[in-house]
Chains A and B, each alone.
Chain A
């Protein structure tokens, strides 16, 4: 009813987000699609999508791209819209790889080609369209896991095929392959390890805050304060503190702990993680209906039985939502570790910033974003699975 009231007659049956994506896509085509530069540092020349290669390539590529975005329009056909998004995505990759080959052909040895703003906008529009269509289809946790695995598989296949190796970012990667692998491992250690430590401290602390109301206000206020310290300032505090600690306890030095490097970054991430973990633990335990808790006491459950059988199972989705926040936050924050020699993808970001090499920055930033997205989707699936009552009984 509201559709007919608010949508002009000619647009009925069209998905409003789909329409927005199509318009944004069309506008993005006017932006430079790729950049050609004489070497990795100098500013380059932006080329619109129809100039990156001969028409034999750009014409079919752009046609399929437009078709894909157009398929995103019908509001009532989510599967078709998803198909359109995938088609548009394939067209973008096709244009990018063939454009790179064509542009590199007569450029010099040091020349670099990179995706430009037009490509990034179109990529974002396409991914948003896919996400919107998927949200409309409401896939269950199992199907979402399959889709995630499929998307990662497709991404891996694209990277492994070497199609992107002619791009500047591919060249940056090729010269740093082993460093990239080390950075990946280190980034995962920083984000997952700090999460594990924060959970080991935060869950018991949250349970204690739930049981002892007097503790709650003070603890949450302290952790909120920690959360407001900017990450750079946090490192600034950490360096002398850890330095003093290591001087006092030389055994720590033998373990590789120092004022800069991995240790302060790790400790800072743990500190930032505590508030979401503790706050969500308290909120999750509070979420159990009061009469159910009262009945559990009245029936003779011990406090531990109440915690394990009633409060934790009912609060688990909220607890896991806290873990999700921390995981995504830490994957992003771990980049800062690169600044103080903590390793991880941040190494590339800060090297790139120092050398004004945009593609080196991207080599650090893109995997970080990807990692955060995969973590978010995986945690959402786990949160859904952790709801103990079936959907029809909520």
Chain B
């Protein structure tokens, strides 16, 4: 017989895997974020003490929720004497004392969704949504979230306090949106997840290593949402194609994380990356999800972006890239979302398919869109095409222009390097 792991190890493990579920349900039962947090911690502390003698209960999660709610009732009674508002919580919340244990367990996926939709409520400022989601849904500490956003823990703590106060006073309910509001509200959640991902992805190189954890949290949130979608029925189509598309996009981009920059933190372009270093496991998962999402026929912008990323991932060598398919995908993307940045990427893909001269014609055709005049990637792309056409004077001017428009150091170093290269030909 193998000895059972000690109780404190089991409780620690449960804390890692289940504490946010326990918390999400306690928020619903108690109706107060801070009290729920405290009650959750007390429940885990009680488990450490009591399971040693009494043994591990059959349903540890249900035990923790149930213990948490009785801890909360105790706390409310103790504080009643000092805080009159506490009296109302007990009288207004019959669920706190009355829900049977079985119903607590079946509600867990819904409670997690309630927490996600409340933290990503559009009436909260976007920074507050990001901070709340990381803190309440992912369970990151205030210090971890603050360091990821490069702000002080005090500033972040205040942001969270204000957001929680708004949830209370503005009457933001702890609920899953109904089917009419769902598409819009789900978009808001996906937007938060993608912002978190990009925050981590774009700042993960060099000095800001901690921010990389944000991308991992974003991927975890995406998978959680996909899981919850298949466990519950709040959607018109289940699971939603956009959720699969976003998760695929994040996985496919992350599969290249190691090769995006070199050992000096300098940018390595897609065409120069060592493809043997791409994470094949992530690519396989990502490609599978894209295919599932495409098969639903309800294709949104995340799915198309993921499909483009999948085309790159499929090509074991840059020369094998199916640029024709990529251009077609950009055409679809432009119809969904007529953005100048997408038009720019499409022009670059056309240049890869039909050569730099035709690419440049397309690029210059969209330059009329004022938004691009101040966008460094437009000038960098133009410079690149001119360089390939051996129009070095034009390339030089465009690299200079691009350089003046970016503040990011790795980008500046990249552009500087290119400028030095072409100066040999001038």
Is chain B found bound to chain A in the same assembly?
no
